[in-house]
Structure 1
């Protein structure tokens, strides 16, 4: 990694673990291999706040295995038909939920910053809303519409419920050091969520 990339990765981890206000420039510089307090960070970023915005934007842009999901021509049902043709509707929704949980794990530090730190400014929230939340909502809404098989329904609202349920599990488990306070593991939780959304899809299909 370049020095700039090292600073971004270190800063994002520290912001996620300690909070923005409690993380010093000197600490970031030291862990990024620069002289602590030497001002090396400011050769790449004008301020700690600019670094925060850049770091969040950088992490959210890392699509990896999720990139193909953003193609408007991508078919969630088509993908499942090719890899798990006999999967039930619940199992298909379970897979969608697992993909969402994995994305939250990838964005761990960003999620911690957004959900725990009240010292961040509006530019970071705007970046997350535009570059992550709205993108995820589009993907999930499209998947639910496909799974509904053309049945009418408020699928954007259903997508918001599904995304919210998965996000809640991740957040609560993260707060309690990796284990949800209910003692329910991710598979049980996500399957229950999938069953609830599947029931809504079934109801729409019967109308």
Structure 2
């Protein structure tokens, strides 16, 4: 089925916002890219303003989680799923798989990620959309996964903070790669970075297990 005019407007707007930035993208450019007459005001038949267009477009894109929907479901066992990617007992391997899934998620919606991580001209309501529709959902899933992996000792550690560190590390890697054309300014390649991140979280998990045995 061919996309509707509204869908074309949202898709082209996200592309242009990601490439040029929100403030530098005009309504006329969006209209022209969507196959409308640039400067005709046709966009306003579907959205009240450029701000509303951005918020609605990002909201709909984030809600459409595609293959990540299962991983982010509250009923899904993330730890059980990750165990399929690593030998039994290989905590680092499981966390590496989690890191790669997270990085793929960031890269899948590259324009949205650019808007959220790099554009300081976006309207405040969009930050709330991101907080509710993406960050809170991802944080809940990662925290649940770490709690599962920690086992009985989970209550002894602040796994929400550990999840925030993990999610933040992946966002930093993605943003640096986007800014520096695929590389990292520290000249650390993706696999080394992900392994270091996985090993840091695995060390916390191992410590939690040791402390649980001692208590």
**What number of residue pairs does the alignment pair up?**
207
Residues 142-194 of structure 1 deviation map (CA, whole Å, 9 limit, x = unaligned) = 01011112212110010011011111101111111221122222111101100
* Partner of residue 141 from structure 1, selected from 136, 139, 143: 143
Is 1:164 the counterpart of 2:168 in the alignment? Answer: yes
Q: Which runs of 5+ in 2 are unaligned?
A: none
Q: What TM-score results when the alignment is normalised by the length of structure 1?
A: 0.95
Counterpart of 1:181?
A: 185
Q: Which runs of 5+ in 1 are unaligned?
A: none
Residues 75-133 of structure 1 deviation map (CA, whole Å, 9 limit, x = unaligned) = 11222345545361000000011111111112322222122222222110000001100
**In 1, Cα distance between the equivalents of 2:117 and 2:81?**
32
In the superposition, relative to structure 1, how do residues 165 and 33 fare at CA in structure 2: closer, same or farther (>3 Å)?
same
Conserved 8 A contact 2:82-2:97:
no
CA RMSD of aligned residues (A): 1.4
Q: What TM-score results when the alignment is normalised by the length of structure 2?
A: 0.92
| Correspondences of 1:111-126 after superposition (within 5 Å) | 111-126=113-128
**In 1, Cα distance between the equivalents of 2:89 and 2:183?**
28
**In 1, Cα distance between the equivalents of 2:89 and 2:176?**
29
**In 1, Cα distance between the equivalents of 2:50 and 2:97?**
38
**In 2, Cα distance between the equivalents of 1:195 and 1:120?**
35
